[in-house]
Amino acid sequence: MAILVVGGAGYIGSHTVLYLQDQEEEVVVLDSLETGHLEATLGATFYEGSIEDERILDTIFTKHTIDSVIHFAAYSLVGESVGNPLKYYENNVLGTYKLVKKMQEYGVSRIVFSSTAATYGEPVSIPIKESDPTIPTNPYGETKLAIERMLKWCDQAYGLKSVCLRYFNAAGADPKGQIGEDHTPESHLIPIVLQVSLNQREHVQIFGEDYDTKDGSCVRDYIHVLDLAQAHYLAVQSLREKDESAIYNLGNGAGFTVKEVIDTCRDVTGHNIPAQVAPRRAGDPATLIASSELAKKELGWRPAYPSLKEIISHAWSWHQAHPNGFKS
């Protein structure tokens, strides 16, 4: 029995593949390599292609006995989704529709879906609970929510069981340094700050310091990418054992401001990291912190790397050893 990981060459996908291999699961990866990196899959059985390509899905489901699918294959740039929503509806929603249709055709009835805190939009209270209202403020979050809802109805109609995992801010890298984060363009705070430490950028911009937070910069909940990977493995196990659909937040339950993140990076790297205050970024809520109590209780999820300093240290080791990502 194998787990098919679609989007398994991306940042969170590849760390999940690594984690599954450590658990001695058989893994098959499908990735278009549009944003992923073949090197990140570390020799896993690999197919290059899109989830919209019926023929490649036929090949995979025929050649391998797939018992579950973990689905990371999506576009995920909030700003881009605002400018080009149809690109997001096509790839994320239509792509998932085609994947799920193929799963049905081959009798595969378990899926773990990579969702996001962006499904909530502006939070009504902190920490955010899974039962809170979901009113996305951008097409990216909207497409992820549409997929969650499609999966819910597919459970009711066809018995397709899904676990949707709503991530907060994924960060860090494999502690052994084999793989890490490599986005082009990079938009995430921690890798951008570390690029300043590597003298690849002159300074980091702080997007707004007039928010209602302790130092005026935005608060986010940073979660180690391998702790996210662990949760995907537990979600597959839970589907195998309990055969029940669920939605879980995945975060640390602790928030850090942009300025605190930059300070911790200064501490870890020993670089002074010049910072400049810039205007607010459109669509950024002041504070996003998850309640992950449900995942802890129901999946038995136990984050192994909750410390922000450790998360940043692992990211820093990767970026130092691979200043140009996988091309280094």
Pick from 284, 293, 298, 310 the residue near ligand UDP by CB under 6 A: 284
Our finding on whether 106 is near ligand UDP (CB under 6 A) is no
Per DSSP, the three-state class of 114 is strand
CA separation for the pair 114, 236 (Å, rounded): 13
* Beta strand 256-257 pairing with 219-220: antiparallel
Which of the stretches 18-26, 32-40, 151-159, 202-210 binds ligand UDP when contact is defined by CB under 6 A? 202-210
Contact pick of 27, 44, 70, 206 for ligand UDP (by CB under 6 A): 206
According to CB under 6 A, which one of 169, 230, 252, 287 is a site residue for ligand UDP? 169
Q: Of 47, 75, 120, 140, which one is the catalytic site residue?
A: 140
**What distance in Å separates the CA atoms of residue 288 and residue 321, rounded to the nearest whole number?**
31
Nearer to ligand UDP, 108 or 286 (CB): 286
In the chain, alpha helices (H):
11-22, 54-63, 78-83, 85-88, 95-105, 139-158, 189-197, 225-242, 258-269, 293-299, 308-321
Of 102, 110, 220, 232, the one binding ligand UDP by CB under 6 A: 220
Nearest to 144 by CA among 84, 71, 83: 71
Reply yes or no on whether 140 is catalytic.
yes
A 10 A CB-CB count for 18 gives 22
Q: Tell me the window of 105-113, 143-151, 198-206, 247-255 that interacts with ligand UDP (CB under 6 A).
A: 198-206
List the one residue from 23, 62, 65, 187 that touches ligand UDP (CB under 6 A): 187
Positive or negative torsion for Cα 138, 234, 227, 27: negative
Which residue, chain included where needed, has tokens 């025929």? 62
Contact map string, positions 241 to 280, toward ligand UDP, x by CB under 6 A = -----------------x----------------------
User: Which residues of the shown chain bind ligand UDP in the complex (CB under 6 A)?
Assistant: 169, 187-189, 192, 204-207, 218, 220, 258, 281, 284
Point out the residues that are catalytic: 140
